[in-house]
Amino acid sequence: MNKQNFHYHRPIKRQRHHLGRRIINLLGLILIPLGLLLMESHSTGDVILYVKQTKTSLPPLTQEVAPVAKAFLLADNQTGQIVYQKNRQERLQIASISKIIPAYLICRAIQSGKLNLEDQIKISPAVAKLSNEAGLSNVKLQINETYSVKDLLAATLLSSANAGVMALAQAVSPLPEFNQAEHEFLNQLGIKDFVIVNVNGLPNNMLGTLRNPQTSLNAENEMSATAVGMVATKLIRDFPQILSITEKLTDQFKAGTSQQQTLENTNKLVAGAQLALPQLQALGLKTGTNDYGYSFVGTFKNEGKLLTTVILNANSDNARFLNTRQLFQQFQKQYHLITLTPQTNSNLKEIHEMFSQQFNLKPKKIQPLKLWVPRSVKAADFHFNFDFDYNYFSQNKKPGLIVRLALNPNQIQFLNGRLPSLNLR
């Protein structure tokens, strides 16, 4: 995220900090996309007033969660608001969670027409051999047999088929080129600190001739919880149909043929699974297991919004799901969704009247801001301050606004120190 220039309110007196710290500790790092405010001129010269969509943040979470794992986060898919976190920036081994990266590139290839869900992929001897390796997550594949893109994608996401995702990647491009495409995709998301050497997350030394010769023999894939959450969010935003696969408890591979077999979802939180709960609507997404621990990136629907959880290197298979479940239930009890609409502010109306008189400006609709806050905090506790930016006007001869999101005086105890504000022009 690009750094923003912040302007701060005066510090709050120290005796008010105690409850504030507790609430901010719960609230965590909040990325707040403020809605786009445009006022168009219909006068000569087309003078335009605009408030650019941008982001602000509150102090990061200091209370650690998920003690059974090395890292954890819970975030809103749409706004990027992070509610819970632990060591979210630490780069860790992610094992088969890696498969969400090729899943995105494969979906993109399908979207572009390079692949079709019904295309048949022929299995090479090396891929067939990998699919029969003992101790690895796989769906057994036969040499020179063909399998549909649809079946291999389901096997990759549900049963974590290591050979299946290799076959899919090779159908898009040679493995070294595909690996480079993975790097480019992550860089485009703004992710810089990662190690991605293969498509399935196995240690490189287990891949034999399938290893990208441009990568180290002993390397394996590593990313932070934040980076995993960004990839998962991008996958779901651009290809929401992927959830129609990952929300299934089981699926049929090579249905109607002599090779038909049942794929079982490794996610134990989806409906009907061992650790599922009715109040948790789990829709995906992917597990990962290696010598470092048990990991899971999950997708949940709550109050009509999608949220992502990432837990890296828990100490057992069930722990990654039980801890995710526990923290999500805690989130449901402690937080609710509020909608903030800047255009309802009286001072914005006053500013608009001033602009209308001077520049004949017409306001466009401001997008509301949806924010997860503790249940004791209500939408009425917030307000937006809009001030005319005289410096911007003197330099550019166009009106501009300074916009600040603040809590009302009767709720000032929820703030810890100083609340950042934004210069939006």
Domains of the chain, by residue range, sit at: 6-61+338-424, 71-315
Provide the sign of the torsion angle of the four alpha carbons 316, 320, 321, 327, taken in this order.
positive
Mean pLDDT computed over 48-62? 32
What digits encode the pLDDT tens for the residues 176-234? Answer: 999 999 999 999 999 999 999 999 999 999 999 999 999 999 999 999 999 999 999 99
Lowest mean pLDDT among 49-53, 300-304, 330-334: 49-53
Contact 368, 340 (CB under 8 A): yes
Is a pLDDT exceeding 50 seen at residue 93? yes
User: Nearest 5°: phi and psi at 74?
Assistant: -130, 125
Q: In degrees rounded to 5, what are phi and psi of residue 303? A: 55, 40
Mean pLDDT of the chain: 78
Give me the CATH code for the 71-315 domain, please: 3.40.710.10
More confident residue, 342 or 63: 342
- Helix, strand, coil percentages (3-state) for the chain, rounded to 5, are 35, 25, 40
pTM assigned to the model? 0.78
313 sits in the region (left: phi over 0; alpha: psi -120 to 50; else beta) called left
Q: What is the pLDDT of residue 379?
A: 79
What pLDDT does residue 134 have? 93
Q: What pLDDT band is residue 310 in, cutting at 50, 70 and 90?
A: very high
Q: How confident is the model at residue 294 (pLDDT cuts 50, 70, 90)?
A: very high
pLDDT band (50, 70, 90) for residue 391: confident
Q: What are the distances in angstroms from CA 19 to CA 11, 15, 86, 341, 413?
A: 15, 9, 21, 26, 6
